[in-house]
Amino acid sequence: MNKSLLNIEIQDFINSNLKSDISNLLLKGITFEGVDTKSIIEQIEAKKRCEKKLPTWFNTANIYYPNRLNIEQSSSEITAKYKSNLVTGNSLIDLTGGFGVDSFFFAKQIEQVTHCEINSDLSEMVKHNYNALKIDNISCLNESGIEALKRIDEPFNWIYIDPSRRDDSKKKVFLLSDCTPNIKTFQGLFLKYAKHVMIKTSPLLDIKNTINDLKNVKELHIVAVNNEVKELLWILERDYGGDVFINTTNLSKVDAEIFAFNFNDEGSNSATFSQPLSYLYEPNAAILKAGAFSTVSAHLEVHKLHKHSHLYTLDRLVDFPGRRFKIEKVIAFNKKEFSKERISKANITTRNFPISVHDIRKKFKIKDGGNTYLFFTTDLNNSKIIIVCTKDL
């Protein structure tokens, strides 16, 4: 960590060049004593990436930013705030602290937070930033979280861990056994030192297999932001042996769509089926990841179009965790029939359909955009259909 980067004139230069062309800055060169051009460029690029992802850091003076990879791997503020609402108590240890975003928000709920980071530069950087952010109930330890846990040898209310999903060659991995530290190896140690453990994993993990791999899973939180799944949060509780509770959440700036269910109930719930009625319902990405297809039908009393289509319909408008559409017309998947509608511009979605969106646009000569929504799918009679909709906000 080069503290010269925090000099007033260099900070002023960084802030005044956030919208500048990086190539031009490199060509011109940047002359400040004790700091090379590359380091200043890295600060500019890192801060720009934080404007939307980490606005608290972006809007705070004298923040020292890490490299691009640390920013990419960091939680966003919106997901960190969500996690912080899941914890209570006096003590929490973050075993893989990174840039410290999660620890920062945990510290708003927990009396004392311990941030562990094995990279000495990053640990020093985070400690400096917490001072700039005026938060004083986080202790920063420059050591492995696993070793810190053993050395401290005291119980915590919570352990939080976000294992590294990069291998020795910096390639992305997602299986628990490939992450660092290996969650499957150390989960017994975690539950020895804390009654509650929260593990953040890749959205790519198979839910059923992971429940089998982990011990004492009480809850799984599937967190999406603007309909893109960002995190799977596994809550382990010492000695727990009951059913796993699944909470799906789709976060946006204005609200949160929440749908919760018991994981084992999906197998016992039965969906109802119907041809398209007045309204079409498309579940958000968190629900699709959860695989709660029959449960959505049973709990919300909406009908599926087909076992594998994962689209729902009803003759009235109801609250639904996803997008809602007014069905204007249903057309057989036939180029001649579709041409009669004279639709040249539309938003296209496929569900349980053998042709890609790209090939559909090419086949039917449909441009992207507009106020018309087309769903290419399969109905309960296994017929290929096109549902013409307008969006109901």
The pLDDT of residue 178: 74
pTM of the model: 0.92
Question: How many CB atoms neighbour CB 86 within 10 A?
Answer: 17
181 and 145 in a single domain? The answer is: yes
Token duo for residue 293: 């297809």
Binned average pLDDT, 10 residues per bin, the chain of 393 residues:
89 91 81 85 93 96 90 92 97 96 98 96 96 97 96 97 71 72 89 96 91 94 97 96 96 92 92 96 97 95 95 96 96 92 95 96 94 96 96 75
Query: Quick check: is 249 in a domain?
Result: no
CATH code of the domain covering residue 207: 3.40.50.150
Q: Are residues 82 and 201 in the same domain?
A: yes
- Structural domain count, the chain: 3
Amino acid identity of residue 32, one-letter, is F
pLDDT at 132: 97
Same domain (yes/no): 105, 220: yes
59 and 84 share one domain:
no
For 182-212, give the DSSP string: -HHHHHHHHHHHEEEEEEEE-TTS-HHHHHH
Domain interval for residue 10:
3-65
Q: Which of 46, 65, 84 is the last residue of a domain?
A: 65
- Residue 48: in which H helix or E strand, if any? helix 37-53
Residue 258 lies in a domain: no
Mark out the alpha helices in 291-372 (DSSP H runs).
293-300, 335-339, 357-364
